[in-house]
Homo-oligomer: A and B are copies of this chain.
Amino acid sequence: MKALILVAHGSRRKVSNIEVIQIATRLAGQVKDNYMHVGHAFLELASPSIPEAIEDAIVKGAKEVVILPYFLSAGRHVHEDVPEFVLQKQKQHPDIKISLAPYLGGSSDIIKLLASISNLY
């Protein structure tokens, strides 16, 4: 069983965190052929944390967990903090495959998406 976890920074504003949960819920519908479970996690300021969300996926039966960073720029969070959590959890669960997908902003398709929004104007 494969699980996907959308990881966002987390905000003091509840509405921003709710937006992330809504995106994860909508994403679940789009990837249901590939992922039995889609969760969400926050790096800071909100819960669940990344380790909590990974544990939850494993408890639900995941044998593979993919972490998808919902970040636009490749700062310390993307390069150090998120990978560190993944590494820690991988050590605790050597029988589970935990993968880190590229961060959203690094996708070449982000340019196409920006272009399609721009071309509506």
With contacts A19-B74, A72-B72, A75-B16 taken as known, whether A116 is within 8 angstroms of B109 at the C-beta atoms is yes
Count of chain copies: 2
Q: Is the CB of A118 within 8 A of B101?
A: yes
Say yes or no for A11: interface residue by CB 8 A criterion: yes
Interface residues of A in 24-83 (CB under 8 A from B): 26-27, 30-31, 34-35, 66, 68, 70-76
Closest to A73 in B: B16
Q: How many residues of A contact B (CB 8 A)?
A: 45
Closest to A25 in B: B111
Residues of B within 8 A of A11 (CB): 73, 75
Say yes or no for A87: interface residue by CB 8 A criterion: no
